Structure 1
Amino acid sequence: MAALAPDVAAFQEVWTEAAMEALILSGREAGLVHVWQNRPGLAGSGLLVLSKLPILESRFEAFESRGRPERVWHGDYHSGKGFGDLTLDTAAGPVRFVVTHLHAGYGTDGYDGTRLAQVIQLTAALRSTATPVIAVGDFNLEEDEVHHRVLTDLGGFRDAAIERGHRQQTLLANSPYRTAPAVEERIDYMFIRDGRSLGAVARTIDRVFEEIFEIDGRPAAHSDHAGLLASLELDRPTQLPAGSARSRETALAASKLLELDLDTTRRRRTTRLGFGVLSLLIALPACFGGGVHSTRRRFLAALLGAVGVGNLGLAAGPTTRQIGALDRAVERLETLEDSPFR
């Protein structure tokens, strides 16, 4: 990091104490002595910010829409995702700096609605700030998706790479940590928005930490993602208002996606409730029968009962909470549509 001489560095997926400590030490050597971290490990978000600039305020907001807990192999539900929201003290004035990591897609996806609700929550949380905002991280979305347009059309953000005419893929196909065939995608971003009296403009943005090297004779890399290094200038605000027609189109497209995911999630809850009740109705009588095969029958009945209880638990807990999160995303979207950032 010292060779790049950043004023601020943001990281995602810092899952272990050892990784966190190594990055903080490297940051100190580069003069990044101010640290914000959310605890690593299970449900810890994996977010870290190192800064030369003093951190005036900081907070973490967890995403309400979290995905599906039963898909433990995906991991996002259990990783405590959200966004870190910091106010940095610059010579030109305070700047709001946000780092986030949205729900991953996992190929066939099925998480479009979850990720859209996260984007809407983030956009709504930053809507009323009077200071410039810089939002960075792994957004797990591409620029042709409605998620991107919510940020730009309704949130008033500018995509720094588009602004500079310098789009670069950030998910690397040649990373030793990805399996072939792999495609490159641009899913890591820096979004910028002017404040009322102070603006922010990206002068450069480039891909860094993309090298492949060897450790003990085996190929290695810093990550399966490249980093982004940007140079920003703080000056008078120059941002133009978003077009109202485009804002309405974006809100309509986002609303349709949320309603579709709400319908799917409600049907999933109904299915789980029905399967859970049916499993218990079958399992309970079998637990009290006798005969030669009673031990095996009781074991299978107990197993079926456990599956039933698990489905009832998912329906009553995480699935119901996901429906609530999507409902709140619809409400926030209506607020953003009625009064998009100007």
Structure 2
Amino acid sequence: MINVSLKILCLNCYGLKWISPNRAERIAWIGEYIIDNEYDIVCLQEIFVRKDYEYLSSRLRQQLPYCHWYTNSGLVGSSGLATFSNIPIESVHFHQFRLQGTPLKPYHGDWYARKGIGYARLCLQQQHQQPSSLIIHLFNQHLLANYGGEQYGDQYGAHRACQAYEIARYVETICSTIDSDNSILILAGDFNMLDNELGYRMICSRLGLYDCHHCSSECSCYTLDPSSKVSCPREEKIDYILIQMNKKLIDKIETIDDNGLGPSGIPFSDHKPLTIRLWLNSQTQSIANQFNWKETNLECIEELSRLLLTYLHKTYYRNINQVTLVNLSSLSLTGMSIFNHLFETRMEKAAICILFWSISCTLSLLAIRMNDSEKKAINYMLSCIQLDFSRFRTIKR
């Protein structure tokens, strides 16, 4: 018989190298916060610096001896995802999203980080009990940010929706045996979306997930902290801990509210920590929700299909605009350099012309290549959606 409680933390640590203020000090605060609150499982995002991960893994070794930092082939070298646990990690895997924004806007940074979703299979052995082990399918993720906001619009909305669709398919593929009596599924991370947006609804409907912080009286529900004055003008709920309700195992869920303040009263991130406590008991009588997930999921993928077809039509014109802007900028810089007498000799003027036009051609080719890559990724998503249409319509019948 399984009878155990788990305390789980999800936190975006705002650990950007050279950009995040007081990064090392805040990482140290986060480490002490984890120790003081005696967590069993911790999912962190934006741990981009190896030194920060090594510090946390060393500091938390006694309490959370099992950990993994999800590295990748991106320019940063890491997805920023880190998982810590006092339950042994049997296996790990990282899935990199196909759509990541654009390299033409390096100040956004997501394309260079190569974000994705990290999986860890945890196994808690319980001697002299049947079943003898508890399997936890733990997913830690970080989706593309919304840089436009209300003023400029969500320029990456289609990319983020595709990432959510990838997450749903990836989790579904790995956890095909999740209905077993001794396993649960936990999906935690920074979704960068509200709970009424397409991506969130698609993940929850496809996987049958329950939001542990669904605006209960015990929790403020806000996970972006405006008092930090870092990246958010108001409180929004964009971080989540979602659980698939195994009706034979999950007995109770408690949400714990915390402002996430360091010793000096300064927030240790621009996100508030999410904390839950799970009570697992194999003799429970089910608190699972009873939504018609298959029908809702069909509606979500139909909405995603319409969104991608519209977005695909716009990419052609966006590509023309990007190339035109690059060439006009290069032409303007060349003209300014020549006619403002910055360069006296013909050799210097010829050299600057070659330099600017080389940059212009390189950026133009990059824009065209990225546009082609984006189209291929979206067309792949649309082909997957067509397969899902057939499958879910068959199930619905």
1:94 aligns with 2:94: no
Change in 2 beyond 3 A, CA 1:61/1:307: closer
User: Residue 256 of structure 2 is aligned with which of 206, 209, 223?
Assistant: 206
Which amino acid in structure 2 is aligned with residue 117 of structure 1? C
Number of aligned positions between the proteins: 320
1:123 aligns with 2:173: no
Shift of 1:327: 2.2
1:120 and 1:329 in contact (8 A); partners too: no
Q: Within 5 Å, which residues of 2 pair with 1:1-342?
A: 1-29=34-62, 31-39=63-71, 42-90=76-124, 91=126, 93-106=134-147, 107=149, 108-127=153-172, 128-130=176-178, 131-162=183-214, 166-167=218-219, 168-178=221-231, 182-195=233-246, 198-208=248-258, 210-211=260-261, 213-214=263-264, 220-236=266-282, 238=286, 239-243=288-292, 247-249=294-296, 251-269=298-316, 272=319, 295=350, 298=354, 301-316=357-372, 318-328=373-383, 330-331=385-386, 334=389, 337-338=392-393
Question: Which sections of structure 1, spanning at least 5 residues, go unmatched?
Answer: 284-291
TM-score (normalised: structure 2)? 0.70
Shift of 1:301: 4.4
Change in 2 beyond 3 A, CA 1:332/1:175: farther
- Measured in 1, the distance between the counterparts of 2:245 and 2:228 equals 35
Which amino acid in structure 1 is aligned with residue 385 of structure 2? V
- Root-mean-square deviation (CA, aligned residues, Å) is 3.3
Change in 2 beyond 3 A, CA 1:163/1:340: farther
- Percent identity, aligned pairs only, is 20
Higher mean alpha-carbon deviation, 50-59 vs 204-213, is at 204-213
2:43 and 2:84 in contact (8 A); partners too: yes
What are the superposed Cα offsets for residues 212-264 of structure 1, whole Å, 9 maximum, x if unpaired?
A: 554xxxx84311111112110123472244226xx535533543344333432
Which amino acid in structure 1 is aligned with residue 201 of structure 2? R
Change in 2 beyond 3 A, CA 1:37/1:279: closer
Which amino acid in structure 1 is aligned with residue 303 of structure 2? K
- Measured in 2, the distance between the counterparts of 1:315 and 1:109 equals 18
2:201 and 2:300 in contact (8 A); partners too: no
Change in 2 beyond 3 A, CA 1:194/1:301: closer
Question: Which sections of structure 2, spanning at least 5 residues, go unmatched?
Answer: 1-33, 127-132, 331-345
- Measured in 1, the distance between the counterparts of 2:366 and 2:158 equals 24
1:121 and 1:332 in contact (8 A); partners too: no
2:99 and 2:374 in contact (8 A); partners too: no
2:104 and 2:367 in contact (8 A); partners too: no
- Measured in 1, the distance between the counterparts of 2:64 and 2:395 equals 35
Secondary structure at 1:144 match in 2: coil
Change in 2 beyond 3 A, CA 1:113/1:336: farther
Which amino acid in structure 1 is aligned with residue 116 of structure 2? G
Higher mean alpha-carbon deviation, 187-196 vs 329-338, is at 329-338
Change in 2 beyond 3 A, CA 1:297/1:24: closer
- Measured in 1, the distance between the counterparts of 2:380 and 2:262 equals 40
Which amino acid in structure 1 is aligned with residue 291 of structure 2? A
- Measured in 2, the distance between the counterparts of 1:150 and 1:25 equals 38
Which amino acid in structure 2 is aligned with residue 252 of structure 1? E
2:79 and 2:114 in contact (8 A); partners too: yes
1:58 and 1:86 in contact (8 A); partners too: yes
- Measured in 2, the distance between the counterparts of 1:157 and 1:37 equals 25
Shift of 1:322: 3.4
